[in-house]
């Protein structure tokens, strides 16, 4: 078990006044060593806190005092201080298996940890879940959780996960729901594996066995050029249309039985099938926004001025955790403001993936005529990978290098983490200056208004 290390201290905060410094290792909070940021938050939630630290080989103790729930003002370096519970499944469709060598080490970690599900919205299969985990989840109210279902037929699920525990681990889903834990599910639909009749059976199983689920997203698998699974391939438009038909039929059944649609196809299915997306109201709270469900309608609504919609990412506990490190899509995207060059009224080019390009072009053109949308083909991953979040610096640089100077280039922040692209390149490596925007409609709208005539 590693010790939590302080990486930042806010000026004038309780931690700063007590003398806590970046680099300090936390030995104990009121005599206890927390095993993760969840326990850290629970121990720290008091007005007076005794903190044992190690600094430069010396052990010291400080007292932090705060009033009215003021944050402690110290950020630690990890969400989990004990070992991350890694995944012991061997799914053919797992995208991490498709990552080439040479990327950041953290990208290759396959977690199946319910704590990261609670904190960051990661999906867990529950194959490593235990009775002790259930007790902690229920006792500490760790809700919502996000669970990968894929199939409710035990044999199909076990075969998909390539893990015999896949046949029985959904018993924990039933236990979580029995104890009132909010759970959102997902089904990664693989053509010829768990689509068609199997998908019908899975949705019937959800209604029969897990009707308390808050939502279920049906999403297509991503197949890159590095995929080695012989059975894995992208959906055809006809197969995508079939998934939409099945899910929409079951939405009607869920509404009759439960009073809500419960299950949703991802936006990508509608785009691939060449069909119009449902109205935004159909998605309820858009709780699977970051799974590509209702994302485009939400983007459109925020572009039009709606400010009561999610910008992205599951809400809940993480947003109130004092000191939790930002990882994944929570990580700092691009540090610092990027100046406008060459001038605010210059013509605008938006760089994005193929997935949402058509929607962005329509919206941007209505707000600022003449705005250009350039699709960055994902040659790094290839296959059917077309989302902006998986664009690499190399591909962005390749496209930018062929575009003229004298324009404003806008780039969504989802392709950056800690200011770096997946391939390790940074903004300084690009051949043109870009403006990095939060990937929501309101931010794009505001950027297009700058310098507009």
Round the average pLDDT of the chain to a whole number and report it: 90
Q: Would the pLDDT of 108 be above 80?
A: no
Return the structure tokens found at 442.
């309101």
In the chain, where the domains are located: 6-76, 96-320, 331-449
Query: What is the average per-residue pLDDT within 263-284?
Result: 96
Q: What is the pLDDT of residue 2?
A: 83
- Residue 448's contacts (CB-CB under 8 Å, 6 or more residues apart) are 348, 364, 367, 368, 371
Helices (H), 259-356: 267-273, 295-303
Burial of 139 (0-12, 13-18, 19+ CB in 10 A): exposed
What one-character DSSP code corresponds to residue 63?
A: E
Q: Say if CB 52 and CB 61 are below 8 A apart.
A: yes
Establish whether domains 6-76 and 96-320 are of one fold. no
Strand-strand pairing, 348-352 and 263-265: unpaired
The predicted-structure confidence for 305-326, as pLDDT tens digits, reads as follows 987 776 554 444 454 566 666 6
Q: What is the pLDDT of residue 407?
A: 93
Q: What is the pLDDT of residue 83?
A: 83
Cα maximum dimension of the chain: 66
- Residue 292's contacts (CB-CB under 8 Å, 6 or more residues apart) are 217, 219, 266, 267, 268, 387
CATH class of 6-76: mainly beta
The listed CATH number (1.10.10, 3.40.50, 3.20.20, 3.90.930) that belongs to domain 96-320: 3.20.20
Q: What is the pLDDT of residue 336?
A: 43
Q: Residue with structure tokens 């010396």?
A: 58
The Cα–Cα gap between 195 and 334 comes to 39
Percentage of the residues of the chain whose pLDDT score is greater than 90: 73
- pTM, entire model: 0.91
The predicted-structure confidence for 353-411, as pLDDT tens digits, reads as follows 999 999 999 999 999 999 999 999 999 999 999 999 999 999 999 999 999 999 999 99
Q: Would the pLDDT of 104 be above 70?
A: yes
The Cα–Cα gap between 297 and 293 comes to 9
What one-character DSSP code corresponds to residue 309?
A: S
Give the helix/strand (H/E) hosting 348: strand 348-352
Higher pLDDT among residues 220 and 452, named by residue:
220
The Cα–Cα gap between 381 and 375 comes to 15
Return the structure tokens found at 391.
């664009």
pLDDT band of residue 120 (cuts 50, 70, 90) is: confident
Query: What is the average per-residue pLDDT within 218-232?
Result: 91
Beta-carbon neighbour count of residue 63 at 10 Å? 12
The Cα–Cα gap between 365 and 350 comes to 11
Beta strands in 10-73 (DSSP E): 25-29, 48-55, 58-65
Query: What is the average per-residue pLDDT within 422-442?
Result: 92
Query: What is the average per-residue pLDDT within 35-64?
Result: 92
The Cα–Cα gap between 443 and 298 comes to 13
- Residue from 318, 267, 257 nearest 288 by CA: 267
- Residue 331's contacts (CB-CB under 8 Å, 6 or more residues apart) are 417, 418
What one-character DSSP code corresponds to residue 431?
A: S
184 DSSP β-pair partners: 146, 215
The predicted-structure confidence for 323-346, as pLDDT tens digits, reads as follows 666 655 445 555 444 545 557 789
How wide is the angle at C-alpha 184 spanned by C-alphas 96 and 207, nearest 5°?
A: 120
Q: What is the pLDDT of residue 345?
A: 83
Return the structure tokens found at 269.
């299915």
SS3 202: helix
Beta-carbon neighbour count of residue 162 at 10 Å? 13
């Amino acid at each position: 078990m590693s010790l939590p290390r302080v990486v930042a201290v806010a000026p004038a905060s309780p931690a700063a006044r007590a003398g806590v410094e970046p680099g300090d290792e936390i030995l104990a909070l009121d005599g206890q060593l927390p095993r993760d940021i969840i326990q850290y938050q629970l121990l720290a939630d008091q007005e007076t806190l005794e903190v044992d630290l190690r600094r430069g080989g010396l052990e010291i103790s400080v007292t932090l005092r705060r009033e009215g729930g003021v944050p402690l003002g110290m950020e630690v370096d990890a969400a989990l201080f004990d070992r991350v519970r890694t995944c012991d499944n061997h799914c053919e469709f797992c995208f991490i298996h498709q990552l080439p060598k040479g990327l950041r080490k953290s990208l290759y970690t396959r977690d199946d940890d319910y704590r990261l599900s609670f904190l960051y919205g990661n999906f867990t299969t529950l194959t490593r879940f235990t009775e002790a985990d259930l007790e902690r989840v229920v006792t500490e109210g760790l809700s919502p959780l996000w669970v990968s279902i894929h199939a409710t037929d035990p044999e199909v699920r076990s075969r998909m996960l390539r893990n015999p525990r896949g046949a029985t681990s959904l018993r924990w889903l039933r236990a979580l729901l029995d104890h009132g834990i909010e759970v959102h599910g997902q089904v990664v639909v693989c053509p010829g594996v768990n689509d068609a009749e199997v998908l019908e059976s899975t949705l019937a199983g959800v209604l029969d066995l897990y009707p308390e689920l808050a939502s279920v997203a049906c999403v297509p698998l991503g197949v890159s050029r590095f995929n080695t699974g012989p059975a894995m391939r992208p959906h055809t438009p006809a197969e995508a249309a079939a998934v939409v038909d099945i899910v929409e039929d079951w939405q009607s059944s869920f509404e009759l039985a439960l009073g809500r649609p419960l299950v949703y196809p991802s936006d990508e299915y509608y785009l691939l099938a060449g069909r119009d997306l449902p109205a935004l109201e159909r998605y309820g709270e858009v709780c699977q926004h970051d799974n590509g469900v209702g994302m485009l309608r939400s983007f459109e609504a925020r572009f039009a001025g709606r400010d009561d919609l999610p910008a992205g990412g599951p809400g809940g506990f993480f947003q109130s955790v004092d000191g939790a490190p930002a990882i994944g899509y929570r990580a700092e995207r691009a540090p610092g403001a990027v100046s406008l060059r060459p001038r605010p009224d210059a013509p605008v080019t938006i760089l994005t993936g193929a997935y949402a390009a058509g929607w962005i072009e329509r919206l941007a053109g209505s707000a600022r005529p003449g705005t250009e949308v350039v699709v960055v083909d994902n040659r790094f991953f290839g296959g059917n990978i077309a989302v902006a979040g998986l664009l690499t610096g190399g591909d962005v640089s390749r496209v930018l290098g062929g575009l003229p100077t004298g324009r404003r280039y806008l780039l969504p922040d989802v392709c950056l983490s800690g200011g770096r692209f997946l391939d390790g390149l940074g903004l300084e490596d690009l051949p043109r200056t870009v403006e990095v925007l939060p990937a929501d409609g309101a931010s794009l709208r505001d950027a297009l208004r700058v310098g507009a005539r």
